[in-house]
A and B are shown apart, each in its own frame.
Chain A
Amino acid sequence: MNALVNFGKIFKFNGGVHPPENKAQSTQRPIGQLTLPERLVLPLRQHVGNIPKVAVSVGDHVLKGQLLAEAEGMVSAAIHAPTSGTITAIADAVIPHPSGLPDHCITLAPDGQDTWIAHLPIDWRNTDRKALVASLRLSGIVGLGGATFPTQVKLRADGKSVVHTLVINAAECEPYITCDDMLMRERATDIVQGIAIAQHLLGATKVLIGIEDNKPEAIRAMQQAVTGTSMEVVVVPTLYPSGDARRLVHLLLGQEIPYNKRSTEVGIQVFNVATVLALHRYFNHGEPAISRIVSMTGNVAHPQNFEVLFGTPLAHLIHAAGGVKANTTHFIMGGPMMGFNLPDTNIPITKAANCIIAATPDLFAPPPPAMPCIRCVRCADACPVSLQPQELYWFAKSDNFEKARDYKLFDCIECGACSYVCPSDIPLVQYYRYAKSEIIAADKAKEAADLARERNEARIARIEREKLERAQKHAERAQGAKTEPKQETATPASTSAGADDAKKAAIAAAIERAKQQKLQNAQATDTDTSEQTKPAADDAKKAAIAAAIERAKAQKAAAQQAGETPKNVDSVSTKVQQKIAEIDARRQTVGPAPEPVAKVQGPPPVADDAKQAAIAAAIARAKAQKAAAEAAKSESPMKSDVDNQLKSQPKKD
Chain B
Amino acid sequence: MLIALYIMLGLAFALGVLLGYSALKFKVEGDPLIARIDAILPQTQCGQCGYPGCKPYATAIAKGEADINQCPPGGDAGVHALADLLGVEYKPLNAEHGEPKPKSVAFIDESTCIGCTLCIQACPVDAILGAAKHMHTIISSECTGCELCLAPCPVDCISMEPIAETPDNWKWKYPTIPIKSIALES
Binding site for B on A (CB under 8 A): 45, 95, 97-99, 101, 103, 369-370, 427, 430-431, 433-434, 436-438, 441, 444-445, 448-453, 455-460
Contacts and interface: CB of A to CB of B under 8 A. Distances in A.
B139 to A, nearest CB: 10
B125 interface: yes
B172 A437 contact: yes
Given A430-B175, A456-B124, 4 more contacts: A430-B172, A445-B42, A453-B43, A459-B126
15 contacts: A45-B167, A99-B167, A99-B170, A430-B172, A433-B172, A434-B171, A434-B173, A438-B171, A452-B45, A452-B142, A453-B38, A455-B125, A456-B43, A457-B55, A458-B126
Contacts of A431: 174-175
Contacts of B55: 453, 456-457
Contacts of A459: 124-126
Nearest to B103: A445
A101 B165 contact: yes
A72 to B, nearest CB: 14
A453 B127 CA distance: 12
Contact of B166 (A103, A427, A430): A103
Nearest to A442: B77
Given A99-B170, A449-B42, A370 B126 contact: no
Contacts of A457: 55
Contacts of A430: 172, 175
Contacts of B43: 448-450, 452-453, 456
Nearest to A95: B167
Nearest to A462: B126
A119 B53 CA distance: 60
B88 interface: no
A452 B143 CA distance: 8
Contacts of A437: 170-172
B69 to A, nearest CB: 19
Interface in B92-106: none
Interface string B130-172: 0000000000001010000000000000000000011111111
Q: Which of A444, A449, A452, A460 has the most CB of B within 10 A?
A: A452
A325 B38 CA distance: 60
> SS class of chain A's interface: helix, strand, loop or mixed?
helix
B53 A456 contact: yes
A436 B170 CA distance: 12
A460 B169 CA distance: 31
Nearest to B174: A434
B175 A97 contact: no
Q: Which of B55, B167, B170 has the most CB of A within 10 A?
A: B167
A452 B166 CA distance: 23
A444 B55 CA distance: 20
Nearest to A437: B171
A86 B157 CA distance: 39
A455 B175 CA distance: 38
B54 to A, nearest CB: 7
A101 B45 contact: no
A103 B169 CA distance: 12
Contacts of B41: 449
Given A437-B172, A452-B43, A452-B44, A99 B165 contact: yes
Contacts of B173: 434
Contacts of B38: 453
A370 B177 contact: yes
Contacts of A455: 125-127, 142
B172 A436 contact: yes
A140 B42 CA distance: 40
A506 B58 CA distance: 36
Given A453-B38, A455-B126, A434 B175 contact: yes
Contacts of B53: 456, 460
B65 to A, nearest CB: 18
A344 to B, nearest CB: 16
A316 B41 CA distance: 52
A62 B81 CA distance: 56
A369 B178 CA distance: 10
Nearest to B52: A460
Contact of B167 (A97, A453, A456): A97
Contacts of B171: 434, 437-438, 441
